[in-house]
Amino acid sequence: MKLFSKLFKRGPDDPAAEIIAWLSDKSLDDRRIVAGILYGGLHSLKIWKWVLSQPDCDVGTASMLLWQMGRPDIVIKNESTHRPVDIDVRRELVRFVSERWKENLFADAVFEFDPREEAKSYRRELKKKGLQGQDPLGLPDEAWKPIIGRRPVGSKVAELEPARFMDGVLGALRLADLAAIDPQQWEPIRRRSLGLD
């Protein structure tokens, strides 16, 4: 984890704050790429909200985060395949994107995203729950449609080329999330990984 702190040149206690500081001078493409590789814990939610709150965040990025990371189908199932906090993170991301979208707070499309497969899965879950034709999450009408744009082209900074670097970043996020969920078990492990014990 020393590599992680050295690269970000900040304290090791909040990986989300470190990544946000690091992303603050990166391109729209880089932010989209990094947002798309986060695995979805409490710290990832902080980063996603920051990305979504940037004035140049486009509807393609919002759609990708809504459907692939928020996963309305999993939210409506109300089942977590990983951790109990997973549903809360997904529900909050879906709510945050939906509200901002309805308020027209996203820039015009830059990046493509086609949500049709994810929307089909969501509709299937609604049907199973007897909610066919309804949308209890209140997703914006435009969010159901394919977004026309281009694919993101990141700089070497956001590429997975230095895989150890991104593994370190994602590992720090995962440990921080686990420590927040179960501090008694995971905080000592997180502290050791940071060289604090």
pLDDT digits (tens, 9 = 90+) for 82-132: 556 678 889 999 999 999 999 999 999 999 999 999 999 999 999 999 999
Q: Which two tokens stand for residue 48?
A: 């996603």
- Residue 76, domain extent: 13-158
Q: Answer yes or no: is 167 within a domain.
A: no
Q: Answer yes or no: is 62 within a domain.
A: yes
3-state secondary structure of 40: coil
Strand partners of residue 150: 111
Q: Answer yes or no: is 78 within a domain.
A: yes
Question: For position 161, what pLDDT does the model report?
Answer: 43
Question: For position 3, what pLDDT does the model report?
Answer: 34
Which residues lie closer than 8 Å to 141 by C-beta, 6 or more apart? none
Q: Answer yes or no: is 111 within a domain.
A: yes
Spans in the chain with pLDDT lower than 50: 1-11, 160-162
Strand partners of residue 107: 58
Q: Answer yes or no: is 184 within a domain.
A: no
Question: For position 146, what pLDDT does the model report?
Answer: 97
Question: For position 8, what pLDDT does the model report?
Answer: 40
Q: Answer yes or no: is 45 within a domain.
A: yes
- The CA dihedral of 180, 182, 185, 190, to the nearest 10 degrees, is -10
Query: Total structural domains in the chain?
Result: 1
Q: Answer yes or no: is 197 within a domain.
A: no
